[in-house]
Amino acid sequence: MIQIRLADRVKSLPPYLFASIDAMKQEALARGVDVIDLSIGDPDIPTPAHIVEAMKKAVEKPEHHQYPSYVGMLSYREAVADWYRRRFSVSLDPKTEVLSLIGSKEGIGHIPLAFINPGDVVLVPSPGYPVYPVGTLFAGGESYFMPLRQENAFLPDFSAIPEDILKRAVLMFLNYPNNPTAAVAPEEFFREAIALAEKYNIIICHDAAYSEVYYDGGRPLSFLEVEGAKEVGIEFHSLSKTYNMTGWRLGFAVGNREAIAGLGKIKSNLDSGVFQAIQETGIVALRTEDTVLAGLRETFQKRRDVMCEGLAGIGLEVNKPKATFYLWTKVPSGFDSTSLVAHLLEKAGVLGTPGVGFGAPGEGYIRFALTQPAERIREAVERMRRVVG
């Protein structure tokens, strides 16, 4: 038998956060624990029925059973461009400024391969989505972590980045509405980011997966709405959170045509595109009436209010989020984020995500996802009341 040796890039990977959490959950379930899982951001609400029905029809079409276009069906890319025009008043050329993705995670993980050479720097928010530094690692780049702290509204402080780092930086990831902190970025912040990118020739990669999960009528901005954004970067989006289609794996990247072309070149060499039946169904999803999405947002808003009130009632500090379905909750004294997650699972059967798993600046926080019905969230709070404090 040969000796199987992992590549150094794989050996240096930390355990994928959500895989580790799932292992903890499975162990508890094996012990017979009734686990209330508030860890991973996978909506429990079914995909809207009209989208499912569209898929049933699309999958029967023989023309969809062949290899799809590498860049995506033009009709799908046109639907994306039309959605951006309606939602954000942003004009996009569907032929050159829109690229289909197998979910936004795939595009985010691949884009460093298009632009990063060994030793190049990628500016990465921390705490943040683990794929940002992992994609950088796979491309041979170096991650420079920009801390997101409460005193700065969970926005990176660009003035704190050393000049030599900025001169070496090639990409910068941003993510608003933010996972895990649930922060929303104002227009002035995006203007500052664009000015920085122009000065140091940095490509901005804005992850906007949660732009449609917002509350109290506060519709978040697209990065591309801000003047000059398309000259310096692109935006990633996904149908996963907006339409409860996490398992469908469909997303898109839009913006600067040269950046889109670079990502497309990587994808054409590594994958064969998105199943056309899913793309055709994505067109139906993107044309969904906002009344349907408003109903989904109302469900999450009720859950948010129940959990925020409940956590405050047991003495835990949490900012009521304006967007996303996450609560970024301060860890009480006597715990760190990992020990609190283990304590809640062991003593209460409630599973959250340790903030440190999103990066060192996330220590001191735990993330709860609003992906359980309101009655289960109330039960989770009552269970926690008995074991916290």
Query: Rounded to whole angstroms, how far apart are CA atoms 315 and 336?
Result: 16
Q: Quick: pLDDT tens for 94-111.
A: 999 999 999 999 999 999
Question: CATH assignment of 49-286, given 3.40.50.800, 3.40.640.10, 3.40.190.10, 3.30.1490.20?
Answer: 3.40.640.10
Return phi, psi of residue 181, to 5°. Answer: -80, -15
Q: Quick: pLDDT tens for 47-98.
A: 999 999 999 999 999 999 999 999 999 999 999 999 999 999 999 999 999 9
Question: Based on the number of CB atoms within 10 Å of its own CB, is 36 exposed (0-12), middle (13-18) or buried (19 or more)?
Answer: buried
Read off the pLDDT band of 373 (50, 70, 90): very high
Mean pLDDT (the chain) is 95
Q: Across residues 7-25, what is the average pLDDT?
A: 80
3-class DSSP string for 254-318: EECHHHHHHHHHHHHHHCCCCCHHHHHHHHHHHCCCHHHHHHHHHHHHHHHHHHHHHHHHCCCCE
Q: Across residues 242-250, what is the average pLDDT?
A: 95
Q: Which fold has domain 8-46+291-387?
A: Aspartate Aminotransferase, domain 1 (3.90.1150)
Query: Rounded to whole angstroms, how far apart are CA atoms 129 and 108?
Result: 10
Read off the pLDDT band of 389 (50, 70, 90): low
Q: Across residues 163-192, what is the average pLDDT?
A: 98
Predicted pLDDT of residue 244: 94
Q: Where are the domains of the chain?
A: 8-46+291-387, 49-286
Token pair recorded at residue 316: 């835990």
Q: Is the pLDDT of residue 18 over 80?
A: no
Lowest mean pLDDT among 9-23, 97-111, 276-290: 9-23
pLDDT > 70: what percent of the chain?
A: 99
Q: List the one residue out of 191, 150, 199 whose CA is nearest residue 174.
A: 191
Query: Rounded to whole angstroms, how far apart are CA atoms 263 and 276?
Result: 20
Question: Where is 85: in which H helix or E strand?
Answer: helix 74-88
- Pairing verdict, β 142-147 and 121-126: parallel
Q: List the one residue out of 252, 253, 207, 203 whose CA is nearest residue 229.
A: 203
Task: Count the neighbouring beta carbons within 10 Å of the beta carbon of residue 386.
Answer: 10
List strands edge to edge, sheet with 365-369: 326-330, 365-369, 353-354
Q: Across residues 263-289, what is the average pLDDT?
A: 96
Predicted pLDDT of residue 125: 98
Q: How far is CA 185 from CA 8, 85, 137, 182, 188, in A?
A: 37, 21, 27, 10, 8
Q: Is the pLDDT of residue 19 over 80?
A: no
Q: Quick: pLDDT tens for 117-149.
A: 999 999 999 999 999 999 999 999 999 999 999
Read off the pLDDT band of 23 (50, 70, 90): confident
